[in-house]
Amino acid sequence: EVVLTQSPGTQSLSPGGRATLSCRAGQNIGRNSVAWYQQKPGQAPRLLVYGASSRATGIPDRFSGSGSGTDFTLTINRLEPEDSAVYYCQHYGAFGGGTKVEIK
């Protein structure tokens, strides 16, 4: 069973800046095998990126995913206050522990 480890646990950033979120798999999981989700308080998760780098419908191009093998990254450019949320990576039935992004 694959274990996904996300880092950092929390990122505090300023509007207009860039967030770089890491998701590391405990074993090689291929090239197109990670999805990313955004979850705001009191809401269900929302799909952002699938297949490691494909944006879901309606997701702005400020969000981009990359990576392969064991290391995957979600990058959020031109941060906006509404990007404050917890972000999760996922591979089949495994979720990472999440990274909280705070925009102040």
Partner 1 sequence: QVQLQESGPGLVKPSETLSLTCTVSGDSIRSNNYYWVWVRQPPGKGLEWIGSINYSGKTFYNSPLKSRATVSVDTSKNQFSLKLNSVTAADTAVFYCARLDIRMPETTLFDFWGQGTLVTVSA
Binding stretches for partner 1 (CB under 8 A) = 1, 29-35, 37, 43-47, 50-52, 56, 88, 90-98
CB of 15 to partner 1, least distance (A): 26
Please enumerate in sequence order all residues whose Cβ is within 8 A of that of 5, keeping only pairs 6 or more positions apart, or say none.
Answer: 23, 24, 25, 26, 96, 97
CB of 36 to partner 1, least distance (A): 10
CB of 52 to partner 1, least distance (A): 8
CB of 22 to partner 1, least distance (A): 16
**Among residues 24 and 46, whose Cβ is nearest to partner 1?**
46
3-state secondary structure of 83: helix
Residue 44 DSSP label: -
**Among residues 64 and 95, whose Cβ is nearest to partner 1?**
95
Please state, in angstroms and rounded to a whole number, the distance separating the CA atoms of residues 53 and 51. 6
**Among residues 17 and 32, whose Cβ is nearest to partner 1?**
32
Task: Give the tokens for residue 66.
Answer: 């990359």
**Among residues 11 and 45, whose Cβ is nearest to partner 1?**
45
Please enumerate in sequence order all residues whose Cβ is within 8 A of that of 56, keeping only pairs 6 or more positions apart, or say none.
Answer: 47, 48, 49, 50
